[in-house]
Structure formats: C-alpha cells, structure tokens
Structure 1
C-alpha cells in the first residue's frame, strides 16, 4: 500500500488548522498541524512532509520566512500560502519564491485541493 502524502498545516489559528487538516484527511492525505513555523521546523515530520500549507502572517517566523528557510536547506517541499490579509506585494514575493498558490481566507476547499494536487504532481515529476 502506498504511503499517504503528508500535508503540514502551519497556522496560528486553531480553527483553520483543524478544518484544513480535516479536509486533507477527508481526501486521503495524512495531515499534521503546527501552531507555528518554529514548531514545524523542529518537528520530526519536517523531512517527511510532501506539501506545506502555511499562513502568511504568524507570530515569530512568518510564512515567507518559513518558505525561505525551507529553500535554504534545499528542501523541495512545495508551499501553499493562505492569508486573511491579502497584499499583492507579498503575493508576488511568495509566488516568486516558488509558492504553488496564494489563497485568501476564507478559501474554497476545492481550490485548495487543486493546489495540493498541483504541488504533489510538481514534486513527483
């Protein structure tokens, strides 16, 4: 049996973490939630993660810095950003840094699933 892709949800909002993890599991993915980028970066799941769904603005390390840290360690982990505060300049930076998608909260679950599928297909090619 093939191992399920692990999706890491990094967001300081517990309700977003819970609902996003539930959605991912409903579609057959393994999901693990983290309340901060620091928690994720220190977790044993870091090396097993197939895709990261991250908030942009969080206390401590924000989403863009998380993306940068993952890239600096040569991890090819695709990142999908979600935010309650869309800013075209931040979106541009995220996408220029290789983000798969940049979604505004509340986001459509189907759109998020399309982004995850795109991220996993990119990392498998």
Structure 2
C-alpha cells in the first residue's frame, strides 16, 4: 500500500487511538489540533484526506467542511461521531463526506479510507 498523508483534526490531543490506528493501517499522519491551525499550515496543501471529529471545540468538523467547500477545496473527509445521529450523518454525506463513523470503530476506518482513495 502506498502511504498517503492524512490530517487528523481534533481539539483534544490526548485522544491517541485515532492517530495510532491510522498509522497501524499504513497511512502517514500529520496532526493539527484545530481548524485554524489546519487552514494556516503548509501541510494543508498536501492533505489527501481529513479525519475530523464532528464535535471539535473551537470550530466543528461540519463548519470546517463548509469552509473548505467555500474555498473550493475538495479534500475527502471521514467524520468521527460520538453519538449516532442519522440525520446529521446524512447531511454530512450529502455535503461530500466519505463517511461518518460512530465511536468506537476499527475496521470501519479502513473501509472509509479505502473509499477516500479509490
């Protein structure tokens, strides 16, 4: 498998399972801890997929998705959700998200990343 840069955005850097799982699956990882940091950092230019928590503290994942659409950035997004919200999931998918994964997840992340990189 070719390694692919993935940016994981989350306001809580103590959450280690996602970065570890992404690396375990064989993908490169760049970490940004806020939407603002992501939008201002050079690594955003090389981002090929985003793993976003829906409920980030400063700017939510859906708000960043909307901002990227406004900027005409077409980066595949895999959203992470703590609560099963079917309606919200459908809205995010309609707006272009690859998937919305409910915590805890494992194999579902591999499947979503495979769809993000056809």
Give the TM-score normalised by the residue count of structure 1: 0.85
Runs of 4+ in 1 over 6 A off after TM superposition: none
2:108 maps to 111
RMSD of aligned Cα (Å): 1.7
1:61 maps to 59
Distance of 1:86 and 1:46 partners within structure 2 = 29
Distance of 1:49 and 1:13 partners within structure 2 = 20
Distance of 1:13 and 1:90 partners within structure 2 = 22
Q: Could you say which structure has the higher helix fraction?
A: 1
2:99 maps to 101
Asked whether the 8 Å contact 2:11–2:58 carries over to 1, the reply is: no
Distance of 2:113 and 2:79 partners within structure 1 = 11
Alignment partner of 1:113: what SS?
Answer: helix
- How many correspondences in the alignment? 118
Gaps of 5+ in 1: none
Alignment of 1:71-82 (within 5 A): 71-82=69-80
Alignment partner of 2:49: what SS?
Answer: strand
Gaps of 5+ in 2: none
Establish whether residue 52 from structure 1 lines up as the match of residue 37 from structure 2. Answer: no
Equivalent in 88, 95, 115 of residue 90 of structure 1: 88
Alignment partner of 2:48: what SS?
Answer: strand
Note the C-alpha offset of 1:3: 6.9
